[in-house]
A = this chain, B = another copy of it.
Amino acid sequence: MNTLVLGGAGFIGRHLCAALIAAGHAVTSLDLLPAGGRVDWPAIAGVTWQAGDFTNTADLTTALAETDLVVHLVSTTLPRTSNENPLYDLHGNVGGSLQLFDLIRKQPKPPRIVFISSGGTVYGIPRTIPINEEHPTNPVCAYGIGKLAIEKYLALYRYLHGLDYRILRLANPYGEQQSLHSGQGVIPVFLHKALQHEQLEIWGDGTVVRDYLYIDDVINAILTTIDYTGTKRIFNIGSGTGHSLNDLLDHLRLLLGNAINCTYLPARVCDVPVNILDITLARRELGWQPLVPLAVGMAKVRDSLLCC
């Protein structure tokens, strides 16, 4: 299968490209980042790296030729920073994605789409825990509104033009090769700082609960979704359990065997108090389930940081 990964040089993108190659896909990556991401990361043999911007239709037109499947991982903003300029988020993420879908539906043989949405932001402040896919969607960040609008445009393009798509509302992914400087990925950042005996910064009192999912489980969910032919379109993809930031500190102490130096800062308005996804639908429909417990995943990230 000819597969185009939009954002293939990012954290999830690199892991996905490697897994797709291993699964026999012919893989092209379109990304603003240099081929394969950071120069100190291992190359991924077999991937065709196209440097380009997914909001540039010329770049997209080249990348889409002969493509059977598009996995759309691109975001031009982060949940936290999206509120600083919601219009930028709207034009880049929503406008770019809508333009992409319009280009795809005009292809001679439109490829299928797997879109990575955000289980951590589309629901907003939860009314019930865990959150299932039918939960109201009232985001408290522009990033979440953008992801939601993109989901709605996908459904519209299926209704109008028969576009085939699936949406994964992803919890908080973490793993090896996650950037320490992107503003996402608290687990590698905490591990890195703790290993360097630097002070950790906690926004709020540490009780904020998130649903952390190890990268291998994320990739398996995407691969399973590619093969899925059922009727469901939107799936929560999470660990099914929640951990507070203070839980993470406990795990760090156990993993590293030393005291953790941390400071508590004022809470951020964009942080919902708790987010745990109900993954019943993905278990039932996709036959997927998370396999890597938090302690195991964190140990793997620790080991990757120690060996570099």
Contacts and interface: CB of A to CB of B under 8 A. Distances in A.
A91 interface: yes
A194 interface: no
Nearest to A89: B98
A90 interface: yes
A133 to B, nearest CB: 11
Contacts of A136: 134
Interface residues of A, number: 28
Interface string A137-165: 11111100100110011011001100000
Contact of A86 (B138, B141, B145, B153): B153
Counting chain B CB atoms within 10 Å of each CB, which of A94, A137, A269 scores highest? A94
A231 to B, nearest CB: 15
A48 interface: no
A98 B94 CA distance: 13
A145 B152 contact: yes
A144 to B, nearest CB: 8
Consensus secondary structure, chain A interface: helix
Given A138-B155, A152-B139, A269 B160 contact: yes
Q: Identify the 6 closest CB pairs spanning chains A and B, nearest first.
A: A145-B152, A149-B149, A140-B159, A87-B98, A86-B98, A138-B155
Interface of A: 83, 86-87, 90-91, 94-95, 98-99, 102, 134, 136-142, 145, 148-149, 152-153, 155-156, 159-160, 269
8 contacts: A86-B98, A87-B98, A87-B102, A90-B149, A91-B95, A94-B149, A140-B160, A148-B149
